[in-house]
């Protein structure tokens, strides 16, 4: 494993228990990270809060740091500030805006031929005039109160940028969730705009591993935005995907071949994630 990954954090990984099959559980992830020399992870679930799970891992693996949070899909009441507050009180470090129940995401699935798509329960972030709805603003205010990060989830780029602009006014740290993913892709100019407003741009190995976004495209977007405004993760957890630690290593190798130095990779894999999660040493 490259030196840039010693003490690195995985900022986007799905583990079990979950409502869908996952590559491994929380405990196996922690054991693998300990053996690989990684520092910890931000655990994500589309349908349930992971703050308590992270707290239990931290009790069992004192040398590692885990964090969790809540995703605002219908299972927690959608854009529900009370769910955000509850997560924050349990130590949740992030709130993700809707993912699987985002209207934009469901429309993307429908356009790409996914069967059984039902848009009746989809969650909107903007009103008919393109403004953030009051519930979205209340979520941002609650996230600010509990010092939680804000992930854009699977909302569209237009919705995500609206969250970035509002978040900048409120004082929230917003992360563009897998900004290169075709389901919610942000153009390079949109990524630059978000970064200029203080947002962090996330790139996940998932899109490159599954041949949806070439590594050359990822590299060009990182160079355009600046390594200091980027974090790198995997978005793994699918049974057919590599383990998260394997994915991080593969991603680092591919980006090194694109010309990124160990120091630059260390910033995106380790330093900025540690700062965002409050785990700076």
Residue 65 sits in a domain whose CATH number is 3.20.20.140
**Residue 167's closest CA among 136, 193, 190?**
136
In 3D space, the residue among 233, 185, 242, 189 whose CA is nearest the CA of residue 212 turns out to be: 185
Helix locations, the chain, DSSP H: 26-36, 51-60, 81-89, 103-111, 134-145, 157-170, 188-196, 205-209, 215-225, 244-257, 262-266, 272-277
Token pair recorded at residue 280: 């700076």
Which stretches of the chain score pLDDT less than 50? none
Instruction: Look up the pTM and report it.
Output: 0.96
CB atoms within 10 A of CB 178: 26
Angle ∠(191,179,106) on CA atoms, nearest 5: 125
The pLDDT, as a whole number, for residue 158 is: 96
Which residues lie below 8 Å from residue 115, measured CB to CB, with a gap of 6+? Answer: none
Give CA 139 to chain center in angstroms. 17
Find the farthest-apart pair of alpha carbons in the chain and give their distance in angstroms, rounded: 51
Per-residue model confidence (pLDDT) at position 112:
74
The CA distance from 79 to 127, in Å, is 13
pLDDT digits (tens, 9 = 90+) for 24-47: 999 999 999 999 999 999 999 999
- Work out how many domains the chain is built from and give that number: 1
Give me the residues paired with residue 159 across strands: none
pLDDT in tens, 181-229: 999 999 999 999 999 999 999 999 999 999 999 999 999 999 999 999 9
Angle between helices 51-60 and 26-36 (to 10 degrees): 50
Check the CA dihedral 169-220-258-234 and report its sign.
positive
| Tokens found for residue 166 | 């509002």
Length of the chain: 281
- In this structure, are strands 230-233 and 200-204 parallel, antiparallel, or unpaired? parallel
Give the pLDDT score at 109. 84
Q: Domain residues for 139?
A: 3-112+120-277
């Amino acid at each position: 494993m490259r030196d840039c990954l010693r003490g690195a954090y995985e900022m986007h990984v799905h583990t079990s228990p979950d409502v869908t099959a996952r590559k491994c559980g929380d405990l196996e992830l922690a054991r693998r990270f300990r053996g690989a020399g990684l520092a910890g992870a931000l655990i994500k679930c589309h349908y349930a809060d992971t703050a308590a799970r992270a707290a239990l891992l931290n009790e069992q693996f004192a040398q590692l740091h885990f964090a969790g949070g809540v995703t605002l899909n219908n299972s927690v009441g959608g854009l529900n500030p009370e769910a955000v507050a509850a997560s924050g009180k349990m130590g949740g470090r992030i709130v993700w805006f809707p993912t699987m129940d985002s209207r934009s995401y469901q429309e993307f699935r429908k356009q790409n031929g996914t069967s059984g798509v039902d848009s009746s329960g989809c969650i909107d972030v903007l009103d008919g005039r393109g403004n953030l709805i009051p519930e979205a603003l209340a979520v941002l205010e609650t996230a600010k109160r509990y010092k939680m990060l804000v992930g854009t989830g699977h909302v569209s780029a237009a919705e995500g940028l609206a969250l970035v602009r509002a978040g900048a006014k409120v004082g929230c740290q917003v992360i563009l969730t897998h900004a290169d993913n075709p389901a919610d892709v942000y153009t390079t100019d949109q990524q630059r705009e978000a970064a200029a407003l203080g947002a962090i741009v996330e790139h996940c190995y998932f899109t490159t591993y599954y041949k949806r976004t070439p590594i050359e495209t990822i590299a060009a977007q990182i160079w355009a935005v600046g390594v200091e405004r980027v974090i790198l993760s995997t978005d793994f957890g699918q049974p057919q995907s590599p383990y998260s630690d394997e994915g991080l290593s593969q991603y680092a190798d591919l980006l090194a071949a694109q010309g990124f130095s160990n120091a630059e990779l260390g910033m995106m894999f380790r330093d900025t994630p540690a700062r965002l999660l409050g785990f700076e040493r």
